[in-house]
Amino acid sequence: MPQVSITLPPNLTARHLRVALKYFERTDRLSPQEWRVALETFDALGKGIVTIGRRRTSFQQVYDRYVDRQYADGFRDELMVLKNLETDAEALQRKIAFEMLARLEREELYSEEVENSKYLAAYCLYWWTSFARGYRFELMIFRDLGSSGIAFVAHDLRSRVQRRSPYDLAVLGQLGDIKSTTYFLHSTRALPLNCDFYITRLYHPRRRRYLSVVVMTEEAWQALNGEVATAQLSTAAGFFPKPVQIAFEGRRFVIVPLDLWKEKVKKLQQEEEDEI
């Protein structure tokens, strides 16, 4: 086996690296501030370099080759037939994560003898977890919309090309994306925010749990004939079930509970059907 060496991006600070290792060792035990740092870290780590003999490849390319191409399609196929996505999908995700790390060890890309290989393993674990939880949430939303009687057109989860499209579904002529948490608002991968609405989850500090919400442009909300209160992203959940307007990156968005959004969408769709 050719000698392996790993070079980290020079713009990463000691804090970035500390948070990356904390994520790797404890995964879901980061504070909100540390999650912000983690987003920066794992975006930047994609440009890390793995040198195998004379061949150089990026962390992103390693992930694509050894994780995405190896496990994504199989995970998706198994996900589609699961009945209890809340529990069974999480177990499947963790099972594949262990397989992924074992594969990196066999390839000698994750080893105590290879300096910085923990950061490559952490990078792969982070993006695998993000992928798996994202598609689990997406499938949960599709099932929920269907059972609620909402008419929508969704991209094909079985198509690799469509999975990477800039939007996931269309409702009432509006384009929407599905994200498992609002951290996508802070990720450089998600910018610019070109969709009309985003179905996601917002953490409610007082209730200590996530709520399903829809983040919409002002124009998209106005099309649903709604009024709003004004708040910040961190305090928006406290105003629910009342719709809330926030300012983010120089733009205004409206956040509403998913159930309220479905209620308004269904009403408009029914009115359109009655006019036919």
pLDDT tens digits for range 156-183? 877 777 667 778 999 999 999 999 888 7
Which amino acid appears at position 260 of this protein? L
* Backbone φ and ψ of 228, nearest 5°: -140, 160
Which amino acid appears at position 94 of this protein? R
Question: In this structure, are 126 and 9 located in the same domain?
Answer: yes
Q: Which domain holds residue 164?
A: 148-275
Would the pLDDT of 190 be above 60? Answer: no
Which CB contacts under 8 angstroms, 24+ apart, belong to 242-249?
245/218, 248/185, 249/185, 249/191, 249/193
* Res 193: pLDDT: 80
Ranges 32-41, 139-148, 157-166, 221-230: which has the least confidence: 157-166
Q: What's the chain's Rg over C-alpha atoms? A: 20
* Single residue among 141, 175, 192 that ends a domain in this structure: 141
Question: In this structure, are 25 and 126 located in the same domain?
Answer: yes
Host H or E run for residue 209 = strand 209-217
User: Which residues are CB-contacts of 230 (< 8 A; sequence separation ≥ 6)?
Assistant: 244, 245, 246
Would the pLDDT of 113 be above 70? Answer: yes
Question: In this structure, are 76 and 132 located in the same domain?
Answer: yes
* Single residue among 141, 163, 178 that ends a domain in this structure: 141
Question: In this structure, are 153 and 56 located in the same domain?
Answer: no
Question: In this structure, are 64 and 167 located in the same domain?
Answer: no
Question: In this structure, are 182 and 128 located in the same domain?
Answer: no
Which of 77 and 225 is assigned the larger pLDDT?
77
Question: In this structure, are 133 and 42 located in the same domain?
Answer: yes
Would the pLDDT of 188 be above 60? Answer: no
Question: In this structure, are 158 and 198 located in the same domain?
Answer: yes
Domain count, the chain: 2
pLDDT tens digits along 191-222: 578 899 999 998 877 777 889 999 999 889 88
Question: In this structure, are 14 and 123 located in the same domain?
Answer: yes
Contact assessment for residue 50 and residue 72, using Cβ atoms and an 8 Å cutoff: no
Q: If you average pLDDT over residues 94-116, what whole number do you get?
A: 95
* Single residue among 99, 123, 141 that ends a domain in this structure: 141
Question: In this structure, are 242 and 227 located in the same domain?
Answer: yes
Question: In this structure, are 17 and 113 located in the same domain?
Answer: yes
Question: In this structure, are 121 and 228 located in the same domain?
Answer: no
For residues 30 and 213, give the distance between their C-alpha atoms in angstroms, rounded to a whole number: 22
Would the pLDDT of 121 be above 90? Answer: yes
Would the pLDDT of 272 be above 90? Answer: no
